[in-house]
Amino acid sequence: MTDTLVLRGGTVFDGLGSPGVVADVVIADGVVRAVAPGAATSGDTAGARTVDCTGLHVAPGFVDAHSHSDMVPLMDDPQPFKLLQGVTTEIAGNCGFSFAPLDQVSSAVVDAMYGELACTIPSPAGSFAAFLDLVEQHGPTNHLAYLVGHHTLRLTANGAGDELRPGALERMRDLAAEAFRAGAVGFSTGLIYPPGCFADRAELEAIARVAGAYGRTYATHMRDEGRHVEDAIDEAVAVALAGGIRLQISHCKAAGRAAHGKSAALLDRIAAARLAGVDVMGDQYPYLAGGTVLLALLPNRAAEGGATAMTARLADPAYRIALQADAERADPGDGMWGSTTPAQVIVTGHRDPDAVGRTVADLAEQRGQAENPFDTLCDLVADDPTAMIVVEMMAEPDVQAIMASPLVGIGSDNGPPIGLQHPRTYGCFPRLLGTYVREQQVLTWEEAIRKATSLVARQFGLAGRGVLLPGAHADITVFDPDRIGHAGTYTTPDVTPEGIETVVLGGRVVVDGGTFSGERAGRVLRA
């Protein structure tokens, strides 16, 4: 059978946490037909293409719980940066950022404040259904499932203001329902970013009830990931309870020096919520530094009214003094400035190319602002409200404790593959397997693969994905356990991972011998 593919003799992991077994995998018509020792020599496999997987690990294609690849399919060329990590499916639309539904006004606001997340492509105005159709038309390189973002709902229904106008919440609910009917797998919030940071719990609960009516998932970048992480989890759980929905806590961490050691409190809160009846899981990237927009270092109130209003206020020295006092207080809503140091903030995207790749401390020294680098921060944001950063926030013991939890899966939190990105964009999954499984043995192979596959697929309702069993979709990753890893750094991130040998997407080989085929074989996965 010329349309049949056989992966022969590898150590096969089912994605459910079972130990690997040496077996053959038979694939036909985009579906796994058999997984068993000797399956390649039984049944109708004559003429099938056979890939020798001896000595390699064969796993379900990895499912990235937390992606910002929303607009990547609209780029001119196919982008294999996820396939080369073994990722076959991404959950996009995270942290409240989705690129639909938008009108002409909200599209312009999104581009002004978060344009880099759009791959510098103008955000398309239109419905959520129209956006999914547009992505499908261009052809994703791997599968994508989309969340609808609370920021986007709020901007389209209410504009950039912090207070809700009469009727805006009902409009947000209607737009959310339209997105769910179009195939959104859930909704997301980013409660440290404008305009989501201006929402109270009642607003979020109102949208959660709509999501509950459609059986969708709530994914949240919580209001605080540091000193007040317990309160933030309590809020997220309350929102999920209000809608009767699954909860995904994005990029679990104990962020900032004052929060180091809080991983136990975070995990205890998640476990307690599960015992109370909330289907809550989390995701994590295996790094000590995060990446975000530069304006996240500023207090929420800096961004009231959008980019133009923010830029005008930041030019006022008296306003800066008051803003700095808030920032250094480092309470929820005060931004991340007080949780890190200028030397730990690397600018990765900015209109001024001289700023890229340098720390805020270095730039402050160059500009004669070393005594008060907060002025440098304000200047950088005012010059480019869309600027991006990598910022060191976590401690290794917390990272490992969160990683070891069976309730936390893997999500890269990648940016688009342009400019100087965080290395997680190019190497999150190989780093997990090479550094934390093979070298440090924080996880077993079977548990790491479960956390990168079925745990995530289940949480977002992706039936038939994240498992390697007969009847499942044939999305499969084959890797060398002795070689897998990623050598990317914060200043040289775009290094091709090692050890990913073969990736099968919908039954088609799209990575062969570590080389991308060039084919856009992905699909938009609609709930």
**CA-CA distances (angstroms) from residue 293 to 11, 221, 459?**
41, 14, 27
Q: How confident is the model over 353-396, as pLDDT tens digits?
A: 999 999 999 999 999 999 999 999 999 999 999 899 999 999 99
Cα–Cα distance, 182 to 163 (Å, whole number): 28
Q: Where residue 1 falls among pLDDT bands split at 50, 70, 90?
A: very low
Nearest in space to 436 (alpha carbons), one of 497, 492, 486: 486
What is the model's pTM? 0.94
Arithmetic mean of pLDDT, 256-269: 96
Domain 62-288+393-463 classified CATH 3.20.20.70?
A: no
Query: Amino acid identity of 163?
Result: E
The mean pLDDT of 317-342, rounded to a whole number, is 92
CA 180 distance to own-chain centroid? 20
Query: In which band, very low, low, confident or very high, does the pLDDT at 306 lie, cut at 50, 70 and 90?
Result: confident
Q: Give, in order, the Cα–Cα distances in Å from 84 to each of 14, 429, 511.
A: 21, 10, 7
CA quadruple 470, 473, 475, 481: dihedral sign: negative
Residue 228 phi/psi, 5-degree rounding, is -115, 30
DSSP state of 22: E
How many alpha carbons fall within 13 Å on the CB side of residue 519? 15
Within 10 angstroms of residue 431's Cβ, the number of other Cβ atoms is 23
Distance between CA 281 and CA 49 in Å, rounded? 39
- Quick one: pLDDT at residue 9? 97
Judge whether residue 2 has pLDDT over 60.
Answer: no
Residue 175 and residue 452: Cα distance in Å, rounded?
A: 31
Question: Residue 209 in 3-state DSSP?
Answer: helix
Q: Other C-beta atoms within 10 Å of 354: how many? A: 10
Confidence of residue 304 (pLDDT cuts 50, 70, 90): confident
For the chain, domain boundaries = 62-288+393-463, 301-390
Task: Specify the DSSP element, H or E, that contains 292.
Answer: strand 289-293
| Identity of the residue numbered 475 | D
Percent of the chain scoring above 90 in pLDDT: 90
> 518 vs 331, which has greater pLDDT?
518
- Amino acid identity for residue 441 in this structure: Q
Local confidence band at 429 (pLDDT 50, 70, 90 cut-offs): very high
The number of C-alpha atoms within 13 Å of 30 and in the hemisphere containing its C-beta is 8
Which stretches within 214-316 are classed as H helix?
Answer: 229-243, 263-275, 307-314
CA distance 415 to 115: 11
Dist CA 499 CA 481 (whole Å): 7
Q: Which residues contact 110 (CB under 8 A, 6 or more apart)?
A: 99, 102, 118, 123, 152, 155
Neighbours of 449 (CB within 10 A): 33
Q: Give pLDDT tens digits for 481-525.
A: 999 999 999 989 999 999 999 999 999 999 999 999 999 999 999
CA dist list (Å): 71 to 95, 129, 291, 474: 15, 15, 18, 25
Spatial contact of 461 and 527, defined as CB atoms under 8 Å apart: yes
Average per-residue pLDDT for the chain: 95
Beta bridge partners of 90: 64, 144
Asked if residue 344 has pLDDT above 90, the reply is yes
CB 177 within 8 A of CB 137: no
| CA angle, residues 218, 219, 222, in degrees to nearest 5 | 115
In whole angstroms, what is the distance from residue 209 CA to residue 218 CA? 10
Q: What is the DSSP string of 333-397?
A: TS-SGGGS-GGGEEEEE-SSGGGTT-BHHHHHHHTT-TT-HHHHHHHHHHH-TT-EEEEE---HH
The CA R_g of the chain, rounded to the nearest whole Å, is 22
